[in-house]
């Protein structure tokens, strides 16, 4: 954690970006009180996103099949990895941002398939610790 600052919560977000379609969409965002709350929310969002993007193998285009691991599988694997969850929880508690990312083809605004980057991320909100006279100091806790 940064000296002279304390964590006041965690900003969590789910974003889809497509350089090909020149767009960025914030799909969901929240404020979490603890690293565990942040990861619980991100894992729930990952499951929702995976369900929304999952298509039967027969309905996948040739372009989707070129990806070794489809986006839904990436996010399902991430949510199932308890050991990595503990690593990310510790990183958040230590003041570091975390994320899970995947990319794959999708249709955007009715156009042909374009590459879309999906990101689920959380970062600590750091606030300065103020003394009685308004100067910053390290929190003695």
pLDDT digits (tens, 9 = 90+) for 59-96: 555 555 555 678 999 999 999 999 999 999 999 999 99
Task: Say how far apart CA 26 and CA 15 lie, in whole Å.
Answer: 5
Tens of pLDDT, residues 33-65: 999 999 999 999 999 999 998 876 655 555 555
The C-alpha angle with vertex 30 and arms to 91 and 28, in degrees rounded to 5, equals 110
Written as one string, the DSSP assignment of 28-58 is EEEEESSHHHHHHHHHHHHHHHHHHH---GG
Confidence of residue 21 (pLDDT cuts 50, 70, 90): confident
Q: Where are the domains of the chain?
A: 5-122
Looking at residue 75, its pLDDT comes to: 96
Tell me what percent of the chain is helix, strand and coil, each rounded to the nearest 5: 35, 35, 30
Distance of CA 70 to the CA centre of its chain: 17
The CB density around residue 14, as the number of other CB atoms within 10 Å, is: 21
Task: Say how far apart CA 79 and CA 46 lie, in whole Å.
Answer: 7
Per-residue burial over 71-96, b = 16 or more CB atoms within 10 Å of its CB, e = otherwise: bbbbbbebbeeeeebeebbeebbeee
Both structure tokens of 19: 């350089």
């Amino acid at each position: 954690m940064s000296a002279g600052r304390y964590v006041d919560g965690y900003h969590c977000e789910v974003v889809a970006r497509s350089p090909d379609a020149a767009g960025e969409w914030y799909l969901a965002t929240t404020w979490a009180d603890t690293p565990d709350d942040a990861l619980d929310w991100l894992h729930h969002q990952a499951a929702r996103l995976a369900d929304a993007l999952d298509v039967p193998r027969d309905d996948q285009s040739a372009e989707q099949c070129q990806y070794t691991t489809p986006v839904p599988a990436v996010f399902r694997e991430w949510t199932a990895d308890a050991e990595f969850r503990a690593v990310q929880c510790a990183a958040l508690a230590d003041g570091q941002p975390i994320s899970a990312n995947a990319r794959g083809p999708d249709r955007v605004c009715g156009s042909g398939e374009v590459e879309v980057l999906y990101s689920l991320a959380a970062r600590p909100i750091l606030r300065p610790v103020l003394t009685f006279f308004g100067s910053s100091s390290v929190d003695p806790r």
